[in-house]
Amino acid sequence: MNTSLPPCPFIAGSMITDSKFFVGRREELDFITSRMTAAQPTSINVLGEWRIGKSSLLYHFCQTYEQRVQRYGKSPSDYVAIYLSLQDAQCRQEANFYRAIAKALLKRASVQNNPALSVPLNGGSLDRQTFSAAMDVWKIEKVLPVLCLDKFEELFENAEEFNNQFYDNLRSLMDRNALMLVIASYKRLDVYSRQHRLTSSFFNLGNILPLKGLTEMEATDLVRLPETKVPGTQAALSENRQKLALEWGGRHPYLLQLAGRCLWDAKQRDETVDWAKKQFQQEKQRLPQRRFNPRRLILPLRLLLWLPLNLGRLARMIGNFVDDTGNLITGAFILIAIILVWFGALNWSELQKLLKDALSG
């Protein structure tokens, strides 16, 4: 067994940076790769709630993109993908944003070894014009920079620096295939544009990638770590505890990691499963709850109001049709009978008898 492996393979609460312990998201990774290797690369907005795995996905893609593009018949030398957390980079000014990107790109060996790519980024301070010029040089060299930008909401905190002109310039670079963006956010970018009154076409990204729970197979592979990822190792949890982790965590990646860690901790401490479950529940409560959105009630409320209103009108029309304006109850009775026939609760002969009785009464 490889003794260099960490004793607990379950990583709960932080971004997974060791690719050996990244599990699943095959469809999502293929989605990004296919958009990147297309004849005209298309930028992507990755959506997902807190701790659903957006950061880990972007980071893992940047670790593995060279192998992935080869499956699409492309050369890894034609791409440079970098991960950048805009929260950690502290991009409070536009120049800092460009410098953080340049710094991340320059860490790549393929950039360091190619002066045509590195020199345009190695100058003094970068501004909008010089950064765009550098990206145009990369396009001439036929190398596509793929910027995986995490915590994109940070830019909206400084509207004066990151204004419509800033976003318009990024959109221009995207439109002429000088760069590709993979942006992780909690909400769609067009939602943020409305909230912050931004009118740039940058926010109309056509490719949306919603990040949901893992598939059943991926969830099973996760609770069997490290066996499913590291050859020659065994699962850290027994089969019974694997089932418990799946029961507690469902298919949510963070909750599965948390359940696995709590069960592993219980084993190491010689504690009971009940102890592990208590620890799991305490940590789970720290997850932010979904905020109530009153807009979600608009359609149900409209339907709730529409049905009785229009059924009442229809019943009144039927009542008027039998030339008895006061016989609203009869009209409602007829309407209900017709609905019962429609759903198969009555047959036509029974309906005819009911109608005959109602109209003669």
Give all domains of the chain, ordered by start, each with its CATH number.
25-210 (3.40.50.300), 220-284 (no CATH), 294-360 (no CATH)
Q: Alpha-carbon distance 69 to 324, whole Å?
A: 75
Q: Alpha-carbon distance 202 to 180, whole Å?
A: 12
Q: Alpha-carbon distance 301 to 306, whole Å?
A: 8
Q: What are phi and psi of 38, to 5 degrees?
A: -70, 165
pLDDT of residue 3: 47
The two counts, helices (H) then strands (E), for the chain are 15, 5
C-alpha dist (Å) from residue 83 to 16, 80, 208, 254:
13, 10, 19, 20
Q: Alpha-carbon distance 257 to 174, whole Å?
A: 36
pLDDT of residue 325: 47
In 242-309, which ranges are E strands? none
What burial class does residue 1 get, using C-beta atoms within 10 Å of its C-beta: 0-12 exposed, 13-18 middle, 19+ buried? exposed
In 263-340, which ranges are E strands? none
Per-residue pLDDT of the chain (361 residues; tens, 9 = 90+): 444 545 799 999 899 999 999 999 999 999 999 999 999 999 999 999 999 999 999 999 999 999 999 999 999 999 999 999 998 877 889 999 999 999 999 999 999 999 999 999 997 789 999 999 999 999 999 999 999 999 999 999 999 999 999 999 999 999 999 999 999 999 999 999 999 999 999 999 879 999 999 999 999 999 999 999 999 999 999 999 999 999 999 999 999 999 999 999 999 999 999 999 999 999 999 877 655 445 544 555 555 555 555 655 655 565 555 454 445 566 666 667 666 656 555 556 665 666 666 556 5
| SS3 assignment, position 146 | strand
Q: Alpha-carbon distance 14 to 179, whole Å?
A: 28
Q: Alpha-carbon distance 48 to 72, whole Å?
A: 27
pLDDT of residue 90: 75
Who contacts 272 (Cβ-Cβ below 8 Å, separation ≥6)?
266
| SS3 assignment, position 94 | helix
pLDDT of residue 288: 72
pLDDT of residue 7: 78
pLDDT of residue 92: 82
88-172-127 Cα angle (round to 5): 50
Sheet with 180-185: strands ordered across: 79-85, 144-150, 180-185, 44-47, 207-210
pLDDT of residue 206: 74
* Rg of the chain (C-alpha set): 29
Q: Alpha-carbon distance 78 to 71, whole Å?
A: 14
Full-model pTM: 0.78
pLDDT of residue 351: 59
Per the structure block, which two tokens stand in for 256? 């599965």
Who contacts 42 (Cβ-Cβ below 8 Å, separation ≥6)?
35, 180, 206, 207
Who contacts 267 (Cβ-Cβ below 8 Å, separation ≥6)?
237, 241
